[in-house]
Amino acid sequence: MNAMFSPSLMCMDLTKFKQQINALNTRATFYHVDIMDGHYVKNITLSPFFIQQLKKIATIPVDVHLMCERPEDIIPLCLDAGADIISFHPETAGNKIFRLIQEIKEAGKQVGVVLNPSEPIEMVNEYIHLLDKITIMSVDPGFAGQKFIPETLNKIRRLKTLRDEQHYHYLLEIDGSCNPKTFKTVAASGVDVFIVGTSGLFSLDTNIEKAWDKMIEIFQRETADLTLA
C-alpha cells in the first residue's frame, strides 16, 4: 500500500478555502477535520458547519477527529453534515463505545478511534475488530506545532503486526508533527496515513499546488531507501 496523505484543514489558509480544496481534491486521500470543544482540549477549532461547507466542493472522504468530552452529542451533527469517517477518543466514550460505533456504522460511515501518546493499544482490545481506522497521536492533542514523540511509533508497529496476524482491516494513521524531519522515521514504522499540517504541507509554499509537490518530493527523497508496504 502506498503512503496516503490527509491534510489537516485547521492549518489551511481559510481565505483561500475554495482554491485550496479544489487543488487538494486531486491530490489528497482524505481531509482531516479537527473538532475541539474547548473542554477535552483547551482549544476550539472547526465544527459540523465547516464539514457541511466542505462537502459542497470536496470530492474525497471527510475524516473527522473529535476532541470532545461528549462525542455522543457531536457525532449526530457530524453525520448530518456529511462526515465520511468519524474518530473519537475512547476514554471520552466510557460505556457508550459500542453504541457509538454502531451508530456511525448504521449511518453507512466508517469509524475510528484515536489513542493519545500515553495510552496503550490494549484500550481498544474489545472492539478492535470493528474499527476502520486507528489514529496514533504522536503529540499531545489540542495544538499544532508540538514536538514529535518517537515512542508512539512502537504502537504503530504493534498494531501493524496485530492487523497482519488477525486479518483486521483498520488503517493505521499518525497525527502530529508529520514533516520533513520525521517522514522517514514515521514511514519506517509501517503507518498507512500521514496527517500533514503546517510544517508538513501548508508552510512549504503559499501556493498549495507547489506546497504539495514540495511535500511529495521531500517525502520520496527521505523514504527512498525504504520499502513501503
The answer to whether 190 is a known ligand-binding residue is no
The answer to whether 224 is a known ligand-binding residue is no
The answer to whether 34 is a known ligand-binding residue is yes
Look at residue 52 and give its three-state secondary structure.
helix
The answer to whether 175 is a known ligand-binding residue is yes
Say if CB 194 and CB 3 are below 8 A apart: yes
Question: CA end-to-end span of the chain, whole Å?
Answer: 5
The answer to whether 142 is a known ligand-binding residue is yes
The answer to whether 108 is a known ligand-binding residue is no
Place of cell 481565505: 15
Closest to 208 measured CA to CA, from 31, 2, 50:
31
The answer to whether 38 is a known ligand-binding residue is no
Burial bucket for residue 26 (CB in 10 Å: 0-12, 13-18, 19+): exposed
The answer to whether 5 is a known ligand-binding residue is no
Q: What count of other Cβ atoms lies within 10 Å of the Cβ of residue 201?
A: 26
- Active-site residue, selected from the candidate residues 34, 37, 63, 132: 34
The answer to whether 177 is a known ligand-binding residue is yes
CA distance 214 to 205: 8
The answer to whether 206 is a known ligand-binding residue is no
**Beta bridge partners of residue 173, listed in sequence order:** 135, 193
Secondary-structure percent of the chain, ordered helix, strand, coil, rounded to 5: 45, 20, 40
CA distance 32 to 92: 20
The answer to whether 145 is a known ligand-binding residue is yes
* DSSP type of residue 69: S
The answer to whether 194 is a known ligand-binding residue is no
- Active-site residue, selected from the candidate residues 37, 63, 84, 175: 175
- Annotated catalytic residue 175: yes
Binding residues: 32, 34, 65, 142-145, 175-177, 197-199
Binding residues for substrate: 65, 142-145, 175-177, 197-199
Binding residues for a divalent metal cation: 32, 34, 65, 175
> Which residues belong to the active site?
34, 175
